Amino acid sequence: MAVARVVRSEWTKIRSVASTVWTLSLAVVVTVGLGMLISALSRNEFQAADEGRRSFDPTFVSFAGMSLGQLAMIVFGVLVVSNEYSSGMIRASLAAVPQRGTFLFSKIAVATLLALAVGMATGFAAFFLGQAVLGDLRADLGDPGVLRAVLGAGLYMTLITVFSMGVATMLRSPMLSLGVLMPFFFLISTILGNVSATRAFGRYLPDQAGSRIMQVVVPAGDDTPYGPWGGLGIMVLWVVAALAGGLLLLKRRDA
């Protein structure tokens, strides 16, 4: 089957690039390591019973490293797509697979499955190790909303990767793609989500909405008009829009 051959080709491309292993490994180490560190600090802060423990979310604390771990997933998503443009290999790829929709679908499918495997492994590792550090403050996987949050962490990492691939397909250049995505997620989104005048808009950005899936305890005074799955749904819409834009531009312009 032609599609199967293209998928195998894309798998070969991805696994033969050293940066794939390094970026995905970094995502796991940073997410888990920072989550354990924040969990340890949180345990020291709440040694004695007080009012603060009522709003304490041990599950979400174990995912504190996600803010930096997603950086590696963004880099991975960008490199999967834009490395072929920077090296000029895209011309040979599109000559071998003239059906550009099939070409992009195969690339996205292989990278998405890889990101999903890494994301799920990272989510469970961050949770179990974070809870081990929290001790008496820990949550159990069977507690209400906890399994959903852990699975959601893996889905979040996957979606942030696919969104980055869509943007990279539109922009083609790895430097330009990272130059747009990094400030967007680590500066613009944070500012818009924390400034009162723009908070209503900021909560609908992909990372702000998607991260709701990892929360079990809703903070006091939170008036967000959607729940965990609603937030993930908003993130999915952003991903679909990015992929649609990438496919449209891929079909319209020369390599």
Q: Which string of DSSP letters, residue by residue, matches 58-115?
A: HHHHTTTTHHHHHHHHHHHHHHHHHHHHHHTHHHHHHHH---HHHHHHHHHHHHHHHH
C-alpha–C-alpha distance, residues 192 and 35, integer Å: 24
pLDDT greater at residue 96 or residue 216 = 216
Indicate the DSSP class of residue 187.
I
Mean pLDDT, range 225-243, rounded to an integer: 96
For residue 76, what pLDDT is reported? 94
pLDDT greater at residue 46 or residue 181 = 181
Q: Is the pLDDT of residue 254 over 70?
A: no
For residue 166, what pLDDT is reported? 95
Model confidence band, residue 84 (pLDDT cutoffs 50, 70, 90): confident
- Residue 194 CB burial class (10 angstroms; 0-12, 13-18, ≥19): exposed
In this structure, what token pair is assigned to residue 104?
């992009």
Q: Do 174 and 166 meet the contact criterion of CB atoms below 8 Å apart? A: no
In this structure, what token pair is assigned to residue 3?
């599609």
Q: What's the pLDDT tens digit per position in 143-156?
A: 999 999 999 999 99
Q: SS in 3 state form for 211-249?
A: HHHHCCCCCCCCCCCCCHHHHHHHHHHHHHHHHHHHHHH
Total number of domains in the chain: 1
Q: Do 106 and 10 meet the contact criterion of CB atoms below 8 Å apart? A: yes
C-alpha–C-alpha distance, residues 78 and 76, integer Å: 5
For residue 113, what pLDDT is reported? 95
Count the Cβ atoms, other than its own, within 10 Å of residue 185. Answer: 21
C-alpha–C-alpha distance, residues 192 and 197, integer Å: 8
In this structure, what token pair is assigned to residue 192?
């818009």
C-alpha–C-alpha distance, residues 36 and 53, integer Å: 18
C-alpha–C-alpha distance, residues 166 and 242, integer Å: 5
Model confidence band, residue 164 (pLDDT cutoffs 50, 70, 90): very high
C-alpha–C-alpha distance, residues 6 and 61, integer Å: 41
The residue range of the domain holding 226 is 2-252
Which amino acid does the sequence have at 137?
L
For residue 230, what pLDDT is reported? 96
Among 107, 35, 43, which Cα is nearest to 64's?
Answer: 35
